Amino acid sequence: MHKWLFQLYQYFQSHKTFAFLGFFLLVLCFVFGASQLNFQEDIQQLIPKTEASTRLQRILKTVEFTDKIVVNISSEKTNAEDSLVSYAEAFLQELQQSPDSIYIEKIQGKVADREVQQTYDFILENLPLFLTDEDYKINQQRIAKDSVKSSIEGVYKSLVSPSGILTKRFVLNDPLQLSSLGLTKLKSLELQTGFRIYKNFLVHKNGKNLLLLITPNSNYSDAANQANFTDFLNSTVEELNQDNEVKASLFGSLLYSVANANQIKQDILFTVGIAVFILLGILIFFYRKIYIPLVLFLPTLIGGIFALAFIYLLNGEVSLISLGIGAILLGISLDYSLHILTHYRNQPDVKSLYKTITKPVLISCFTTAIAFFCLLFLNTEALADLGLFAGLSVIGSAMVALLIIPHLYRKKDTILPQQTFLDRLGAYEFSKNKLLLGSLGLAFLVGLFFMHKVEFNNDLAQLNYQPKALISAKKQLQALEEGENKTLYLASYGNTLNDALLTNQMLYKKLQKAKENEAISSFSSIGGIVLSTQEQQERIEKWKSFWSVTKREKLFQEIESISDSLGLKKNAFQGFEKLLKKDFKTLNLQDYQQVSNLFIDDFIQQSSEENLVTITSSIKVPQRISADVIEKFNQEEGVLAIDRKAMNESFLGSLKDDFNELLLYSFIAVFFILIISFRNLKLTFLTLIPIAITWVLALFIMYILGIQFNVLNIIISTFIFGLGVDYSIFITSGLKYELNHKNEVLSSYKTSILLSVITTLLGMGVMIFAKHPALRSIASVSLIGIFSAVLVSFTVQPFLFRLLYRKSNA
């Protein structure tokens, strides 16, 4: 292979214009292919594909968890309802008058008089649909003669009272208050207990808290608009809080998301800015060329574009999540440029360069790529895309580095290399340091007993940056809860709306029983309001059966007799008579949606793409029994119980299992590649043993320091595994070359590895200074893994090689 590459080099040197144009056109083709890719942003692509998870994903794609922003307006004083309402009115006015109100879809927490009237009219006009069998037992009591007399007398008193002008329409249309039984069904929409309506606002019973719920406009869900929206809300609250006894705090997942994004940007700008500045200085100083950083990164860039173009030809789309992770892992492809440049610096003869470096670069490239390709065997779309992207990028970067670096870093541009600190460190014989060898051996033996004790933390909350203001706001809201409750979601689903409604009605009845038995603290469901067509028809028939002509006429006569005795007009209750005689019809979903106070769209979601309808209910349960409740409701046909936190932890736990499989597959794949490349079992084991030692040592250090794996750093560990493979292959190649050619080249290999260590540590290790927990977790594992890999490859590997080959020669 090295002969072919050298011949290609000579040909391109003789035909520079043709070579440049050909290379340029090839890159343009890659860019065009990459630009045609469709990107998938679905986080569910991280879920391993099983029969159960496929069903789960199908449902979750339809269910919309509307993450609202909670505005908690509070006062230290008791009975501060009027002050709370004044603040809320001022806050709403600020929102409505601002051009930033476009970011808001709706605000809940204030009930307008018009909406109250609309809801009442809707219930009254469709009263049979809101009455159950139990309600008819109550109605039977209300039409008893004594009850009717009492009700009509109450109507009379109401009409002659000062408020009669306001209540006249209500009491005359429904003197027996039949609609009150229907109105009670609206309570099933309320998940939060302990609140009451005061001057149209939702106020806590303690009189010290008022809540508003803001639903963000989904049309402005990109990062820039979300940041603008949260800035607007925060500035509005800060302005109103100044010199005010009443204060407001904001809480919601959107605020966490924006705060995390801002913190990551700040951390990356700070850490990466420093890293790039130092890295450029080191590279320019070491290679004595200003343009060297460009030469180093060009193969990596082209390799990434090549991978995207290839994926376009294969699939046409790729997971954006996999590209985000893959971009981090692409740092491994920078190694090939470093190795080639370092050897070219010390050995400016191109023919000798290719002879020395081609085989180790290709072996390293293909072992790393095969390790990434093992991700294709896992049942996770995002990880499969990651494996394909990273593997192709590594191959592309290595080939481009071999082809173009000798042209860009030409012999006539080189000068005799000056010895630097890195050169001297690379020349140091770590393998002859007995204290270091003994310490590593002891650490390895002890680590074997503790490596399995490193835990996997699947709690995503611990990877979030949590600003003090949000922590405080969360505690204030939790203080309003009665007991330590957890919110769970129950999704009733079906292929049609009617199917989903039927399932939801059955679920609603079970939730009622669970509430009565105190198995759940509270629930929010439309199961008692939005009914299937069959249930609506049955309730209408029940109404007709109850209000027979005889029963109606008898009631009308009693009402008329009592009205006459009280001096009321003869047709005063004409509206009530029309209600009892009305021919009621079933409703469709659009009829319910016209009533803004029911918030139907918060509960029902339809997906024509998935041919699925889901109806979401929310329940609050004590923390200690949440798992049991989930298990119980998951046994119901057509119902999916969702604990969002537990679901994420379950998914991430299965990801951990997938990565355990990946390491096994990768190790086997690397073994076979090395056997084929070296054609020597002894060299293969000499290369693999340091990788195994590195893994044990890194896990042992993590255990000592109390560092846990999480979804981010366990993915980064594949990057560390790849680096360990690279280091071992290059050290083996250097040792073998020295043995066969009696020419000292190992120091050049070690110097290039040291440069790789520096670039990687500056790129990832510097994030140890970040404030964001996720970035710090990546940095800590990177530091431990890289130091372990380079220390073992510099110390243990040469020692074992010389030990074995000295015996062989003897």
| Token digits of residue 561 | 């007799």
Give the per-residue pLDDT at 656.
67
756 within domain boundaries: no
Of the pLDDT bands very low, low, confident and very high (cuts 50, 70, 90), residue 413 is very low
With respect to residue 519, please indicate whether it lies within any of the assigned structural domains: no
| Contact criterion met (CB below 8 Å) for 117 and 235 | no
Tokens of 1: 């292979």
What confidence tens digit (pLDDT) does each residue in 172-181 have? 888 888 888 8
Please, which residues bridge with residue 72 across strands?
211, 249
Which whole number is the average pLDDT over 240-255?
89
Q: How far is residue 182's CA from residue 177's CA, in Å, rounded to a whole number?
A: 10
DSSP 76: S
Give the tens place of pLDDT for each residue, 530-556: 999 999 999 999 999 999 999 999 998
List the domain range (segments joined by +) for residue 295: 1-36+289-418
- Quick one: pLDDT band at residue 325, thresholds 50, 70, 90? low
Read out DSSP for 289-344? -TTHHHHHHHHHHHHHHHHHHHHHHHTSEEEHHHHHHHHHHGGGGHHHHHHHHHHH
Instruction: Please give the single-letter amino acid code of residue 212.
Output: L
pLDDT band at residue 88 using 50, 70 and 90 as cut-offs: very high
Per-residue pLDDT reduced to its tens digit, 767-783: 788 888 877 888 888 88
Q: Is the pLDDT of residue 799 over 60?
A: yes
Say how far apart CA 142 and CA 174 lie, in whole Å: 12
Domain assignment present for residue 724? The answer is no
Q: 616 near 489, Cβ under 8 Å?
A: yes
Beta strand residue intervals within 17-151, DSSP E: 38-40, 69-74, 104-108
Beta pairing class for 317-319 and 38-40: parallel
Whether the pLDDT of residue 472 is over 70: the answer is yes
Angle at 88 between CA 87 and CA 93, to 5 degrees: 100
What confidence tens digit (pLDDT) does each residue in 342-373 have?
777 777 778 888 888 888 888 888 888 887 88
Question: For position 810, what pLDDT does the model report?
Answer: 45
Measuring CA to CA, how many Å separate 117 from each of 123, 202, 575, 616? Answer: 10, 17, 16, 27
pLDDT at 208 over 80: yes
Q: Residue 398 is encoded by which pair of tokens?
A: 């290595």
Number of domains in the chain: 1
Q: Residue 389's pLDDT band (boundaries 50, 70, 90)?
A: confident
Is 321:43 a contact under the CB 8 Å cutoff?
A: yes
Average the pLDDT over 289-317 and give the result.
Answer: 85
Domain contains 275: no
Mean per-residue pLDDT over the chain, rounded = 83
pLDDT one-digit tens code per residue, 428-451 = 888 889 999 999 999 999 999 998
Q: What is the pLDDT of residues 712-750, one digit of tens each?
A: 777 777 777 777 888 888 888 888 888 877 777 788 888
Query: Given a cut of 50, is residue 415 above it in pLDDT?
Result: no
Assigned domain for 154 exists = no
Nearest to 502 by CA among 370, 376, 636, 387: 636
Give the HSE-up count for residue 414: Cα atoms under 13 Å, Cβ half-sphere.
Answer: 20
* 409 within a domain of the structure (yes/no): yes
Q: How confident is the model at residue 152 (pLDDT cuts 50, 70, 90)?
A: confident
Mean pLDDT on 416-434: 78
Q: Give pLDDT, residue 420.
A: 73
pLDDT at residue 486, as a whole number: 83
Closest CA to 5 of 351, 340, 394: 351
Q: Which residues contact 356 (CB under 8 A, 6 or more apart)?
A: 343, 347, 737, 745
Torsion of CA 630, 631, 635, 640, to 10 degrees: 30
User: pLDDT digits over 479-521, tens only?
Assistant: 887 667 888 889 899 889 999 999 999 999 999 998 888 888 8
Q: Compute the distance between CA of residue 361 and CA of residue 367 in angstroms, rounded to an integer.
A: 10
pLDDT for the residue 58: 67
- pLDDT band per the 50, 70, 90 thresholds, residue 414: very low
Percentage helix, strand, coil, to 5, in the chain? Answer: 70, 10, 20
Q: How far is CA 300 from CA 25, 228, 377, 401, 779, in A?
A: 18, 35, 25, 8, 22
Q: What's the whole-number mean pLDDT along residues 380-399?
A: 83
CA angle (184 as vertex; 183, 188 as ends), nearest 5: 115
Element containing residue 626 per DSSP (H, E): helix 626-634
**238 CA to centre of own chain:** 29
- Asked whether residue 731 is assigned to any structural domain, the reply reads no
